[in-house]
Amino acid sequence: MKPSFNKEKLKEFFFIVIIFIVSISVNQYYGNIGVYPMDTFLFFDSGFRFLNDQFAFKDFWTSMGPLLDLIQGIFFKIFGITWFSYVLHASFFNFLISICTYLILRKFKLASNYCFFYSLAVALVAYTNSGTPFLDHHSMIFSLMAVYAFILAIEEDKNIYWFLVPLFLFFAFLSKQTPASYLIIIIFTISLLYFLFNFSYSKIIIIFFSSILCLISLSLFFYLNNISISSFYEQYFLFASEIGKVRLSYHLYPIEFSRYILRFKIIHLSQLILIIIIFKNVYKNINYLKSNEFFILLTLISTGLIFIFHQILSLNQKFVFMVIPILFGFSHVFYKKYFFNKKYILVLIILITLGSTVYNIAKYANNRKFMELEKVELDKAIPAATIDKKLNGLKWVSTIYPDNPDLEISLLKETIKLINDDKENKMLITHYQFISAIINQKIFSPARTYTTNDISYPTKESKFFESYKSFFKNKIKEKKIKVIYLIKPLKEETITDFIDKNCYTKINQNEILTIYKIKKC
């Protein structure tokens, strides 16, 4: 007897394959267009340095997530140190959140056709606005996976999901402190409420064990690689907290309807059905507040609000689009239960999801707005492989030389040759953080990156200025640095604020390169 032909399983397999192809290829496409050096190469150098046993907090100062260094190092190890494998890192996470969205919506009994629609929408907007690995995106994706695990733990009452919640939150926090820390507070608070009515020693022990396992793993990694816990605490907690306080002071206010509501109207709309369901059920029966459904809806609504809060405090262009099709997907799930006879609601859910997806692709992905390239003529881009074959696939036009990418590349090639020919121990301070990987040399740098908004390292206004200054000087001595290369548009204060004037000789080499010969002092 021939086995039965399961059309539904075949259809699901087909959907998963399409999600994989689309989520990978669409991000590879956008990740290859244009360059915003400050952000585009953020983890290219640190991934290469990870492979060469140089680690965050020990070898370079950072307030940014160290987990991306490790992951990028793994991608470089497997696929080679190329631009393709760099973008593939981001593309993989684009696929990861897309397929997880498909699978969780199926867990909540949504038809596979609709799961495919919402997960495909996620694939088109989740990572494509950046295209290359970025800490906010990773933190959001891991945070969403923690949310998925948490609501499945409540829905299905399986211990594996309780174990995964701390694990994903741990990964999210080590990608970036926010929005992970906000989600940690939210999930911890909702968990307390949940266990108030559904107390379980076994589940609490599992959560505790998972949390302890994460901390032990981190401590072991630090121990094996001689990374100081105090350095990690100072850079990733204390210095980052200082940045956070500044942002709270300047970006939280003014609290206006246009900033908090109108600007994020689509996210609010995606939550509306979930909010209505809570109020409707609480009005009928106050005991609804003890139900599993209430805790699930509360978690989903809180996640949307946290992402809005995170976006407001961020200095970046809007990047929280991935939550829109996710929340509309869950609105569809609960629509079936409470509004099934009102077909126009379902039509609105689908149309708004489709419309917002198309809009966000057109406004943010197509013109590379997140990478500050919206005013740059992208058709002027030229192959970055002319710099080095490791950059093959990247179409180079940047915010620094938007009208003359040929000149920028020519200057970079000249600069890279000078650095490569110099066999002395050297430091490189630049936004073009791919150079060490291109020439395959250990080029020491005191910070991971050098942004213009005082979040990369402590400036003179920071109470950690002296600490970073000491860190900077110690690296010069420890690595026996003979020369420091500074590439514009970075200013000389990036160096001169931290070493005395009588400790170097300055040489203006070309239009973008300044050389600082280190003297004994």
Strand partners, 395: 33, 383
Task: Please state the domain count of the chain.
Answer: 2
354 and 449 inside one domain:
no
Which pLDDT tens digit goes with each residue over 490-515? 999 999 999 999 999 999 999 999 99
φ, ψ at 396 (rounded to 5°): -90, 115
- Domain assignment present for residue 376? The answer is no
Q: How many residues are recorded in the chain?
A: 521
Amino acid symbol at 23:
S
- Answer with the one of 347, 371, 395 that is the final residue of a domain: 371
pLDDT of residue 1: 47
With a pLDDT cut of 70, the percent of the chain lying above it is 98
Cβ neighbors of 399 (< 8 A, separation 6 or more) are 35, 36, 37, 371, 372, 373, 376
- Answer with the one of 353, 371, 389 that is the final residue of a domain: 371
Q: Residue 348 in contact with residue 328, Cβ under 8 Å?
A: no
**pLDDT of 210 strictly over 80:** yes
- Domain assignment present for residue 440? The answer is yes
Which pLDDT tens digit goes with each residue over 27-36? 999 999 999 9
Q: Which of 259, 276, 274, 281 is nearest to 304 (CA)?
A: 274
- Domain assignment present for residue 514? The answer is yes
Task: Report how far residue 196's alpha carbon sits from residue 487's, in angstroms, rounded to the nearest whole number.
Answer: 58
- Domain assignment present for residue 16? The answer is no
415 and 310 inside one domain:
no
Per-residue burial over 101-133, b if 16 or more Cβ lie within 10 Å, else e, is bbebbbebebebebbbbbbbbbbbbbbbbbbbb
Which pLDDT tens digit goes with each residue over 383-405? 999 999 999 999 999 999 999 99
152 and 256 inside one domain:
yes
Mean pLDDT for 466-489 is: 95
157 and 206 inside one domain:
yes
461: domain range? Answer: 403-518
Q: Residue 210 in contact with residue 165, Cβ under 8 Å?
A: yes
pLDDT of residue 453: 62
Query: Please, which pLDDT band fits residue 276 given cuts at 50, 70 and 90?
Result: very high
- Domain assignment present for residue 478? The answer is yes
414 and 318 inside one domain:
no
Where helices occur in 157-176 by DSSP H, the ranges are 159-175
- Domain assignment present for residue 269? The answer is yes
pLDDT of residue 301: 98
Mean pLDDT for 284-308 is: 97
133 and 278 inside one domain:
yes
325 and 182 inside one domain:
yes
- Domain assignment present for residue 267? The answer is yes
- The token pair at 271 is 């939550």
367 and 451 inside one domain:
no
- Answer with the one of 371, 393, 428 that is the final residue of a domain: 371
Task: Report how far residue 343's alpha carbon sits from residue 346's, in angstroms, rounded to the nearest whole number.
Answer: 5
Handedness of CA 300, 306, 312, 316 (dihedral sign): negative
181 and 250 inside one domain:
yes
Task: Report how far residue 185's alpha carbon sits from residue 190's, in angstroms, rounded to the nearest whole number.
Answer: 9
- Domain assignment present for residue 219? The answer is yes
Which pLDDT tens digit goes with each residue over 107-158? 999 999 999 999 999 999 999 999 999 999 999 999 999 999 999 999 999 9
